Chain A
Amino acid sequence: MGLFLARTFVYAFSSPLKFSIVLKQIRFIGSESMLVIFLTGAFAGMVLSLQGFYSLNRFGSAALLGPMVALSLIRELGPVFAALMVTARAGSAMTAEIGIMRITEQVDAIELMGLNPFRYLIIPKLLAGIVALPLLTAIFDVVGIFGGYLVGGKLLGIGKGTYFGEMLNYVDMQDILGGIYKSLSFGVLITWVCCYKGYYTGFGAEGVSKATTQAVVLSSVLILIWDYFMTSLLF
């Protein structure tokens, strides 16, 4: 798998890019994931606000609900949830697409034309993942923060000024950059694992099915493991 990633990066810098395919992939991974990111972001923020309010209220710190929601989302939940959602929606599709192309000899056909399949199938997805994940994470964070305000402000009576004002005091640039670094690395991780599993899929429909399951499970587990190491390094 390491060799696969190394080859992808080498080819990414050594062969001319197909920008039209990269843009198509950004649309697929990015804009087509917006609905699921909006929904999960909103409800993640709402439930975080609900739980956070009851916990903070016990210590008389309900005014810190805004920073708590924002920091949780920006540092942890945003990058991780967005990555898990992209894995489920786009990562599985990547594996299935490349896997089906592999078993129907479409990858062989590309090689036979004297072309590098990485240039058409893997590199555009990797670049699209690197571009799309931070943007989706940012959207997830913003929607989550507003979802949190919907519950905290409108339902539980925290003032708008308190919710957002305290946020400005507690959230700094390092928190935001940490979230971006995480989402960038998740973008590489998801596309790497999912493309690898598709490229080296087993035989027939069963092979593709197994590869897709393995891709989603492995990506999800690696996201959580990698998140731990990133957190311990960054914060």
Chain B
Amino acid sequence: MIKVEDLHKSFNGLEVLRGVSFEIAKGEVLALIGMSGYGKSVLLKHMPRLIKPDRGRVLIDNQDMGSLKREELEWMRSRFGFVFQSGALFDSLTVFENVAFPLQEKSSSSDLEIRERVLSILDQVGLNGVENKYPAQISGGMIKRVALARALVTSPEIMLFDEPTTGLDPIISHTILNLIDSCHKRYGFTGIVVTHEIPKVFEIVQKVAMLYEGRILTIGTPEEILLSNNPIVRQFITGSIEGPIKYH
């Protein structure tokens, strides 16, 4: 379903991605782990071509994202749902309007159908009674859940989560991860979760990949990663200060 081939990306001479390659099968969810500021979000944004690579390509169902025309790219992007790190809710719209926005713009559903769909998805993410509030009036956890609802409302085939639990307390973080899991079971999307929630995230994904120095250092099932003998992987998942990873 998703195939990434030899992706390279630099910003102002700084090489962030140095040949990233991996594959995700349909219906699988991959956890992308790695050190902060080392290109996980950059890699994630390459999937729907929000960022163009310097070299390499991203294939969705064997279609090269780089070869698509504008209309084709717009259609391809509508197959994606993206939960941004900040939520990226439209701050001039209410919670209801935010979640309804993609349906109002892309579907031919009636106002009543859209209303029912939005209220249903808000209920699924545990947000009843906040539909008339603005993003500035709700908590960080609620913002993430609204962002999740907005991403899921069109039932996308591919879901991308950019640190969906960052800045949240452990209980809300766990709730969000459980929500992702239950939504995956309900909708069956293919997904990538960029996260530092180790090992909690391992319970809800089928694959884990670690990005290190601009490349995929290792990729495997959660069990394989947990049992990995690679000292870099071991140090990262145990959070040890001592080891080959040096923070500058």
For chain A, the count of residues having a C-beta within 8 Å of the partner chain is 12
A233 within 8 A of B: no
List residues of chain A with CB within 8 A of the CB of B77.
Answer: 111-114
B69 within 8 A of A: no
Taking a contact as CB atoms under 8 Å apart, the answer to whether B45 and A108 are in contact is yes
Taking a contact as CB atoms under 8 Å apart, the answer to whether B74 and A115 are in contact is yes
Tell me which of B82, B86, B91 contacts A112 (CB under 8 A): B82
Tell me which of B75, B84, B106, B154 contacts A105 (CB under 8 A): B84
How many cross-chain pairs have Cβ atoms below 8 Å apart between A and B? 49
List residues of chain A with CB within 8 A of the CB of B75.
Answer: 114
Taking a contact as CB atoms under 8 Å apart, the answer to whether B82 and A114 are in contact is no
List residues of chain A with CB within 8 A of the CB of B91.
Answer: 104, 106
Taking a contact as CB atoms under 8 Å apart, the answer to whether A114 and B78 are in contact is yes
Provide the bound-state CA to CA distance between A105 and B48, in Å.
14
Provide the bound-state CA to CA distance between A113 and B50, in Å.
11
Most buried by A among B45, B105, B106, B154: B105
B101 within 8 A of A: yes
**Interface size bucket, B side?**
20 to 34
Taking a contact as CB atoms under 8 Å apart, the answer to whether A112 and B106 are in contact is no
Which A110-125 residues have a C-beta within 8 angstroms of B?
111-116
Residues A113 and B78 in contact in the complex (CB < 8 Å), given A108-B45, A108-B50: yes
Chain B min CB distance to A11 (Å) = 10
Residues A113 and B86 in contact in the complex (CB < 8 Å), given A108-B45, A108-B50: no
Taking a contact as CB atoms under 8 Å apart, the answer to whether A109 and B90 are in contact is yes
Tell me which of A105, A111, A114, A116 contacts B86 (CB under 8 A): A105
List residues of chain B with CB within 8 A of the CB of A106.
Answer: 88-91
* B63-103 Cβ-contact flags toward A at 8 Å (1 or 0): 00000000000111110111011101111000000000110
Q: Which residue of A lies closest to B105 (CB)?
A: A115
Provide the bound-state CA to CA distance between A104 and B143, in Å.
13
List residues of chain A with CB within 8 A of the CB of B90.
Answer: 101, 106, 109
Which residues of A pack against B, CB within 8 Å? Answer: 101, 104-106, 108-109, 111-116
Given A104-B86, A109-B82, list of 7 further CB < 8 A pairs? A101-B90, A108-B50, A111-B48, A111-B50, A112-B80, A112-B81, A114-B106
Which residues of B pack against A, CB within 8 Å? Answer: 45, 48, 50, 74-78, 80-82, 84-86, 88-91, 101-102, 105-106, 154
